Amino acid sequence: MCAVFGVIGEHDKDNTIKSYMSLVHRGEDGSAYISNDSSFFGIHRLAITSSCDNATRIFEKSSFTILLNGEIYNHRELGKKIGTSNASEEEVIYEYYCIYGDAFVEHISGMYAIAIYDGKKLKLFRDKVGKKPLFYRMLGDSFWFASEIKALGGNLVVRYDALPCYLSFQTTISPDTFFTGIYSVSAGGKVEFEDGEIRVANRFNPLSNEIKYHTPSEAKIATKDALKNAVKCRIPSVPFGVLLSGGVDSSLIAAILSKEQKIDTYCVGYEEKYSKYDETQYARMVSEHIDSNHTEVVFTKEQFFENFKTIDRYFETPLGDPAMLPLLSVLNKIKTDGKKVVITGDGSDELFLGYKTYKEFIEIEKLSELKYPKWLLNHLKSSYSQNKEWEWHKRALEGSLLFRSTAELFTDLQQNRLLKRNVKDNSSQNIIQKYRDEFLKSGQVSELDWYSFCDMKIKLGDLFLPKLDRASMICGLEARSPFLDERVVECAFSIDPEIRFGDKSKAIIKDIAYEYLPKQIIERKKRGFSYPYMEWLIEENELELIRKVNNERKIFNADEVEFLLSKATSGGFKHQIFALYSYCRWIDKV
């Protein structure tokens, strides 16, 4: 399935069906629902792997109703253990839930959003890294849940107080959303509803793993085994494509896949006049090395704006990541080529500490060890700069939390200048303090583990994975990411953090890659993903939308807006400007 939907409590059936049908784009192979006066359950199915190959139905047995969005990769293996080798994924969930209760999730491996209703109590479960979304709300005395916010019935009331969080992290932080009273089930979380009461619990913390691997060779062997198994179990029985950027992560996944069968790879490029952004040559080099059927998708200005129209319709909330637009085009090409699954390299940078800024943060952390930092801090504050490094040094010297995810965009002081409200210094730390508390409670002491954990929760869980889910579902594709297999995640957090960090970026992954890829691919200088979105916004005078929306709604200080826009042509603050544009485009249509 690729959409689940439900209501517990009284509901108007006609309006409920309309809400349920708003999710039909997520499952093109069939839909089914069951309904009575006190409940409604519905699914939309994208058929990938199921022993009930042609069946689109809602699982009911005894007093139980079970809905699944996602894939349980080991369901056949689990079925054999209980004597039901031909069981569907839902049947396996049912049997294991009957045996183990809520602990059934410790036995299943996959990406999922699961609803289990026993006639009295509803339980919602979400996979450990948050691949599959699940949202919920109360409407009167009724409890609603769905794979997307738009299906949750009633009016949607925008939370303007979510804007500082969005400016900080390019998204909202789970369980909060942009709408009043609407929440996300957190990655690895559980939500229960019974007798009008909602109970929330988190079940998964990778920081609890014991350190097992203390040498580079041990770490490499364990990671390679986990990754190969993760790739193998994600090979579907239906046609699939593989995203291949030419970077180490996607290239390694493609190379491992190519050892199993001939594959179809896809990358995105740009017209010749934008050649400085184009890295198709590297993807082409990998494709030739692994002998894949390779397709290059040329992403144009016209597609950029057409894709924004699609995002306006389907994304529900703004995201500050400009990569969602070319991603949509390459996924659409994969779908038009007859594929039903796309395999990606997401997760490696966060798990294996691949972002170059991690090294910068480690060095800046040392300032907190200065015996007499006050003079230097006062000197720094007397010469304020919008430069992000200024903010990082200030935090280290004053003893506040330095690293707040590589998704961080606007600092608190920048927001204080931009917004027509008082944004206190370190407000962004307060937003993510729950994760810092988890980290401290775990007993971990290495800030490297904090960097990885924080980015798993924020950059992956609340920014990249929602982007991938929405874009793939628009195209009718299921996205699979081997690096985010729970065994790979467990392996990564079982490696001594200093070994995981290594003497070069992603040392463990690169050491594995030498067995699969050309040296030129592994050792080339890492470039952040970019493309000419700012040139296109300027050429079409689209940045005027920010001024228009601000004139109407008075959200931002006009002088600060003008300061930011004045930097657009020279490429300054372009990510921040894009995030503002994305938000203004969204709020203008809400």
- Looking at residues 145-170, what average pLDDT do you find? 96
* Type of residue found at 437: D
Per DSSP, the residues of 37-49 read: TTEEEEEE---SS
Q: Both tokens of residue 119?
A: 């006639």
Name the percent of the chain lying above pLDDT 90: 89
Name the band, by pLDDT with cuts 50, 70 and 90, for residue 202: confident
SS3 content of the chain, % helix, strand, coil (to 5): 50, 15, 35
Residue 255 · residue 244 · CB < 8 Å: no
Give yes or no for a cis peptide into 206 (omega within 30° of 0).
Answer: no
Report pLDDT for 208.
86
pLDDT at 572 over 80: yes
Residue with tokens 């080339």: 524
Is residue 229 helix, strand or coil?
helix
Measured distance CA(66)–CA(54) in Å, rounded? 18
Measured distance CA(138)–CA(192) in Å, rounded? 13
CA distances to 166, 386, 563, 565 from 559, rounded to whole Å, are 21, 15, 6, 10
pLDDT tens track for 278-305: 999 999 999 999 999 999 999 999 999 9
Measured distance CA(140)–CA(168) in Å, rounded? 33
Is residue 166 helix, strand or coil?
helix
Residue with tokens 């930092």: 373
Measured distance CA(207)–CA(443) in Å, rounded? 9
Residue with tokens 């490429």: 571
pLDDT at 27 over 70: yes
Measured distance CA(348)–CA(484) in Å, rounded? 8
Report pLDDT for 53.
45
pLDDT tens track for 465-492: 999 999 999 999 999 999 999 999 999 9
Measured distance CA(191)–CA(116) in Å, rounded? 11
pLDDT at 54 over 80: no
Q: Both tokens of residue 507?
A: 């040392």
Residue 418 · residue 435 · CB < 8 Å: no
Which residues, at least 6 apart from 251, have a Cβ–Cβ distance to it below 8 Å?
244, 245, 283, 286, 345, 513, 516, 517, 521
pLDDT at 50 over 60: no
pLDDT tens track for 203-216: 888 898 899 999 99
Q: Which of 202-206, 326-330, 517-521, 525-529 has the lowest mean pLDDT?
A: 525-529
Report pLDDT for 1.
64
Q: How does DSSP classify residue 302?
A: H
- Looking at residues 169-195, what average pLDDT do you find? 97
Tell me the pairing of strands 110-117 and 31-36: unpaired
**Distance of alpha carbon 479 from the chain centroid:** 11
Residue 317 · residue 470 · CB < 8 Å: no
pLDDT tens track for 86-144: 889 999 999 999 999 999 999 999 999 999 999 999 999 999 999 999 999 999 999 99
Q: Which helix (H) or strand (E) holds 582?
A: helix 574-587
pLDDT tens track for 507-521: 999 999 999 999 999
pLDDT at 51 over 50: no
- Looking at residues 520-534, what average pLDDT do you find? 88
Q: Both tokens of residue 298?
A: 């040329």
Report pLDDT for 111.
96
Task: State the CB neighbour count (10 A cutoff) for residue 36.
Answer: 9
Task: State the CB neighbour count (10 A cutoff) for residue 439.
Answer: 20
Q: Both tokens of residue 407?
A: 């998704």
For residue 200, list its beta bridge partners: 191
CA distances to 29, 58, 148, 313, 473 from 22, rounded to whole Å, are 15, 18, 9, 11, 13
Report pLDDT for 504.
85
Measured distance CA(225)–CA(233) in Å, rounded? 12
For residue 36, list its beta bridge partners: 39
Task: State the CB neighbour count (10 A cutoff) for residue 355.
Answer: 18
Tell me, which fold does domain 3-166+173-204 have in CATH?
A: Glutamine Phosphoribosylpyrophosphate, subunit 1, domain 1 (3.60.20)
- Looking at residues 228-233, what average pLDDT do you find? 97
Domains 3-166+173-204 and 208-304+318-352+452-523 agree in fold = no
- Looking at residues 401-413, what average pLDDT do you find? 97
Q: Both tokens of residue 170?
A: 């390019």
Instruction: Name the class of domain 208-304+318-352+452-523.
Output: alpha beta
Measured distance CA(530)–CA(575) in Å, rounded? 10
Which has more pLDDT, 50 or 548? Answer: 548
Residue 30, sorted as left (phi over 0), alpha (psi -120 to 50) or beta, turns out to be: left
Establish how many alpha carbons lie within 13 A of residue 387's alpha carbon, considering only the half-sphere containing its beta carbon: 9
Q: Work out the end-to-end distance of the chain between its first and last CA atoms, rounded to an integer number of angstroms.
A: 29
| Mean per-residue pLDDT of the chain | 94
pLDDT at 386 over 90: no
Q: Which long-range contacts (CB under 8 A, 24 or more apart) does 130-133 make?
A: 130/174, 130/186, 130/187, 130/188, 130/460, 130/461, 130/462, 130/465, 131/70, 131/465, 131/469, 131/479, 131/481, 131/484, 132/69, 132/70, 132/469, 133/184, 133/466, 133/469
Q: Where are the domains of the chain?
A: 3-166+173-204, 208-304+318-352+452-523, 533-587
Is residue 86 helix, strand or coil?
coil
